[in-house]
């Protein structure tokens, strides 16, 4: 959606060699074990610091869940062209933001409910995949909340329940539209290869979820998460070999009847 075929001619770095695409495919394969390890670590984080610590019973978690639910009702029950236009706007502005981060220049931004694109002099896989892992409107909500806290600091602290609710609403906006759009032929995904793109998108989104849980939970820490991730990664090879051996034994027993 971000770069229309006509715009790619102005996008010098988009045309990738076959060898580079194969290299990205190999990276995608290499990232698959990391995807599994991160899922394991996320489940540990979810169980230990959200369920066991009863954070899910807090007003903040309830507000986050209510925000997620409210958007899902709108998305599945009342999706319309205005919502799609908002998604396209966030999608293209995210591309533009990451172009600027990488010191590129954006010469044109086109946004409509039927699609969009940007014209720029710089591209890489981070720029092209950024809308699929960077929740643009969640970032806007956090910035607006920060400004309001600074402006209204003399009246007392704002209730964080409203921030959690807005994060849940906007993050679910990002997740649902990402899943809805990624099933279609997306130039952003195709130009980097599907395996590489999907693994990068999966890893970055799951890392974002973990980061939100750590920020919100009173018991979770980034140090604890990192140690758990390291332990799961260090034991992955051993556990994989043991699982393969068990599968071989079961296969032999089944063939012998």
Report pLDDT digits (tens) over 223-239.
Answer: 999 999 999 999 988 88
The pLDDT value given to residue 153: 80
Tokens matching residue 145: 């909340």
Asked if residues 106 and 13 have their Cβ atoms less than 8 Å apart, the reply is: no
Model confidence over 69-103: pLDDT tens digits?
999 999 999 999 999 999 999 999 999 999 999 99
The pLDDT value given to residue 248: 83
Tokens matching residue 66: 């209510």
Residue 15 has pLDDT above 50, yes or no: no
What backbone torsions phi and psi does residue 104 show, to the nearest 5 degrees? -95, 180
pLDDT band at 9 (very low <50, low <70, confident <90, very high): very low
Residue 162 has pLDDT above 90, yes or no: yes
Beta-carbon count within 10 A of 88 CB: 23
Tokens matching residue 48: 């230990």
Instruction: Quote the pTM value.
Output: 0.84
- Region of poorest pLDDT, from 3-12, 38-47, 204-213: 3-12
Residue 217 has pLDDT above 90, yes or no: no
Beta-carbon count within 10 A of 18 CB: 7
Q: Give the integer Cα–Cα distance in Å for 47 and 44.
A: 5
Ramachandran region, residue 44 (left: φ > 0; alpha: ψ -120 to 50; beta: rest): alpha
The pLDDT value given to residue 11: 40
Q: Give the integer Cα–Cα distance in Å for 12 and 119.
A: 10
What backbone torsions phi and psi does residue 113 show, to the nearest 5 degrees? -70, -15
The pLDDT value given to residue 146: 92
Closest CA to 71 of 202, 174, 153: 174
């Amino acid at each position: 959606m971000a770069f229309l075929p006509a715009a790619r001619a102005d996008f010098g770095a988009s045309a990738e060699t076959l060898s580079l695409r194969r290299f990205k495919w190999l990276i995608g394969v290499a990232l698959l074990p990391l995807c599994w390890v991160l899922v394991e670590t996320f489940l540990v984080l979810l169980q230990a610091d959200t369920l066991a610590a009863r954070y899910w019973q807090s007003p903040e978690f309830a507000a986050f869940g209510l925000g997620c639910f409210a958007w899902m009702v709108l998305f599945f029950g009342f999706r319309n062209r205005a919502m799609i236009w908002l998604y396209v706007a966030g999608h293209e502005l995210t591309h533009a933001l990451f172009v600027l981060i990488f010191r590129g220049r954006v010469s044109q931004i086109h946004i409509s409910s039927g699609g969009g694109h940007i014209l720029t002099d710089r591209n890489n896989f981070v720029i092209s995949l950024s809308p699929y892992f960077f929740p643009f409107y969640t970032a806007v909500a956090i910035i607006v909340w920060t400004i309001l806290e600074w402006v209204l600091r003399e009246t007392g602290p704002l209730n964080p329940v409203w921030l959690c609710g807005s994060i849940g609403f906007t993050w679910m906006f990002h997740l649902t539209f990402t899943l809805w759009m990624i099933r279609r032929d997306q130039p952003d995904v195709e130009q980097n290869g599907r395996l590489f793109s999907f693994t990068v998108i999966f890893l970055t989104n799951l890392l974002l979820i973990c980061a939100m849980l750590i920020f919100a939970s009173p018991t979770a820490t980034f140090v604890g998460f990192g140690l758990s991730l390291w332990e799961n990664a260090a034991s992955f090879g051993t556990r994989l070999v043991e699982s393969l051996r068990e599968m071989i034994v079961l296969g032999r027993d089944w063939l012998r009847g």
